[in-house]
Amino acid sequence: MERISWDQYFMAQSHLLALRSTCERLTVGATIVRDKRIIAGGYNGSVSGDSHCIEEGCYVVDGHCVRTVHAEANALLQCAKFGAPAEGSEMYVTHFPCLHCCKTIIQSGVKTVYYAADYKNDPYAVELFRQSGVHTKKVELEDNTIDVNPVEKASYIETLLNKLEGTSLDRSQLDEFKDEAKRLFNVQKG
């Protein structure tokens, strides 16, 4: 078995962190690394003790959910809270940082930002990263590393099974497909 690369490993950690997100608009995770060791992690969610978007909906002002602290900021705040300097570290984030997070990342001393997906890449953020010497690199998570689309895959399988329902497929074979889909994806309908 071939081991995954460090970049894939840390990006997978960020995708796992994103699964803790409480904002319904976009799930984001960020991992801060120094010398191949994770020093902090964060996901986008509400301020401690406040209501979460998944409970009360997003609080949107000017097209942004203001209830949410971004994953990058939460990871950097975790560094500050526990006395782990971010100076000279690397950040792995599931999506390209917004302009506000870009400025926070630069000010914290992070030297490299690895991101898995482009997301409304602000041209000024791109320029600020360049001017400040913060290197950015796209590192998409490979499919064999971690499944980042399980809900979409389950929905697709469910749709296929429902379409097979109206065909001449043998009922026992269809039941076998449904049982296997339920086992693999926890598909309930059909």
End-to-end CA distance of the chain, in Å?
37
Residue 121 region, left (φ>0) first, then alpha (ψ -120 to 50), else beta? beta
72 noted as active-site residue: yes
Structure tokens at 28: 């984001």
Which distant-in-sequence residues (6+ apart) come within 8 Å of 71 by Cβ?
14, 17, 18, 21, 28, 29, 30, 42, 43, 44, 93, 94
- Signed CA dihedral, 84, 85, 90, 93: sign only: positive
- Determine contact, residues 136/129, Cβ cutoff 8 Å: yes
Q: How many whole angstroms separate alpha carbon 62 and alpha carbon 87?
A: 32
CA–centroid distance for 11 within its chain? 9
From 72, 127, 140, 176, the catalytic residue:
72
Scanning the chain, the segments in alpha helix (DSSP H) are 6-18, 53-56, 71-81, 99-108, 123-132, 150-165, 171-185
Residues with catalytic function: 72
